[in-house]
A and B are shown apart, each in its own frame.
Chain A
Amino acid sequence: MKVVRPNKLRVVMVSASSNRELIYDGKTFTLWTPARKYYSTVKFDDTLGGLIDRLEEKYGVQLPMEDLFRWGTPDAPFDKIESAMNAGQAFIDKDLCDHYAFRQGKIDWQIWITTGSKPLPRKLVITNRADETRPQSIHRFDWNLKPTFKDSVFNFTAPEGATAIEILPRKTN
C-alpha cells in the first residue's frame, strides 16, 4: 500500500484467488486486474476518506484496513466505544508498543501502537463476539517512513491489450 495523504493511493492486493490493484491519483480511481488485463476507471475528486466512503456506498468495494485513513481525521466517530483498557506494553517484532483493548457492541478490538515519538499502529486484532466461535482477524503493519516511490505510481495508464470493463453499482436489496 503506497499512500500520499490526503488523496493519493496505490494498493496491491494479492491473495490465493486473485490479484487486484486500486489506484487513485486524486482525480481518477482505477480498479485493475493484471491477470485478466481488465480495468475500470471512475472520476473522483476527494480525499482518501471520501473515496473510501464512496467506493463502499456506491460500488461495494472495500479497501483493506480502511480505518487507517479515518483515524486522526474528523471522520473518525468518537462515540462508538463502550469501554477501553490500557493493557500495558508488549513487543511487536522489535518495537515496544502500548497495547489497548476496546469494546464496541459485539466487537472487541485491540491495537498495539509503537511507544515513543513515532506512534504508529503495528498490530490490530478484531474479535467478533456475536459469533460463539469468536472469529478474529489479525493485521500486522510494517511501515516504511522513507519511501522512495514517485508520484507516478498513482497514475494508471492502461497497458497494451488491456480492456476497460464496466464497474456495476452496488445493488441494494
Chain B
Amino acid sequence: MKRSFSKLFVFPLAALVLASLALAPLAEAARGGGGGGGARAGGGGAQAGGGARPNVQPNNSRADVGTRDVRSTSVNNVNVNRNVNVNVDQNRGNWDHPVAAAVVVSAVIGASAAAVGSTVNVIPVECVPVYYGGMDYQQCGNTWYQYQGGSTFVVVNPPY
C-alpha cells in the first residue's frame, strides 16, 4: 500500500517537469513574434481585406529569403540604390486628439482658470477664436476651449 502510493506520487511530478519544459519555448516564440513580426502581421491584414479574388496568383519568387522567416532575419542587408523616405513623425500633431489632450489634467489649476476637461455651454465674451496647429480653439486669456459639437465646449490644456 505504501509503495504504490509513492509510485503514484512520482508520476504527476514528472508531468509537471515536462510541462514546464514545454512552456519555455512557447514563451520564447511568443516574444520573438512580437519583436520581428511586423511584416507578417501587416501581410495578414492585407489578405483579410481581399474579398473576391481576380484570377491571378501572387508571385513570390523574387521575395527575399528573409520573408520566409521574418522573426530571425527582419533586418536584411539590402543595398538600397533608389529608396524613398517616409516621414513617419506623425504623432506630435493635434489633429484628432483634442479629447486626449484634455484628459491630461494639469495638477495645479490657477484660481481663475477653469478645470481642464470640464465642459461649458457658454464661453466668456472675451474669447477669441484662433487656429493653432491646425485645430480651432477659443482662447480666453489663459483658458482655452475646444468646440465639442452642439453647444458644448471643453476646457483643454493650452496648446503652447
A interface vs B, CB < 8 Å? Answer: 13, 15-18, 20, 31, 33, 35-36, 38, 40, 59-62, 64, 66-67, 70-72, 76-78, 80-94, 96-97, 99, 101-104, 107-110, 112, 123-128, 134, 136-138, 140, 163, 165-168, 170-171, 173
Contacts and interface: CB of A to CB of B under 8 A. Distances in A.
A112 B134 contact: no
Contacts of B47: 90-91
B131 A84 contact: no
B75 A83 contact: yes
Contacts of A82: 75
Given A84-B80, A86-B63, A87-B67, A101 B98 contact: no
B46 interface: yes
Contacts of A134: 34, 38
B129 interface: yes
Q: Main secondary structure on chain A at its contact with chain B?
A: strand
B67 A88 contact: yes
25 contacts: A17-B148, A20-B134, A36-B136, A60-B132, A60-B134, A62-B90, A78-B82, A85-B76, A87-B63, A91-B46, A91-B47, A91-B50, A93-B51, A99-B42, A99-B43, A101-B38, A108-B39, A109-B88, A110-B39, A124-B86, A126-B90, A140-B49, A166-B130, A170-B132, A171-B160
B-side interface size class? 35 or more
A163 B131 CA distance: 12
A165 B76 CA distance: 51
Given A36-B136, A60-B93, A61-B133, A88 B51 contact: no
Contacts of B90: 62, 126, 137
Nearest to A127: B38
B60 A15 contact: no
Interface in B57-82: 58-60, 62-64, 66-67, 74-78, 80, 82
Given A83-B76, A88-B60, A94 B53 contact: yes
A107 B90 CA distance: 12
A62 B64 contact: no
B85 A94 contact: no
A94 B52 contact: yes
Given A18-B135, A60-B132, A90 B88 contact: no
B72 to A, nearest CB: 13
Given A36-B136, A70-B87, A62 B95 contact: yes
B160 to A, nearest CB: 4
B85 A81 contact: yes
A88 B63 contact: yes
Given A83-B78, A103-B75, A134-B34, A109 B63 contact: no
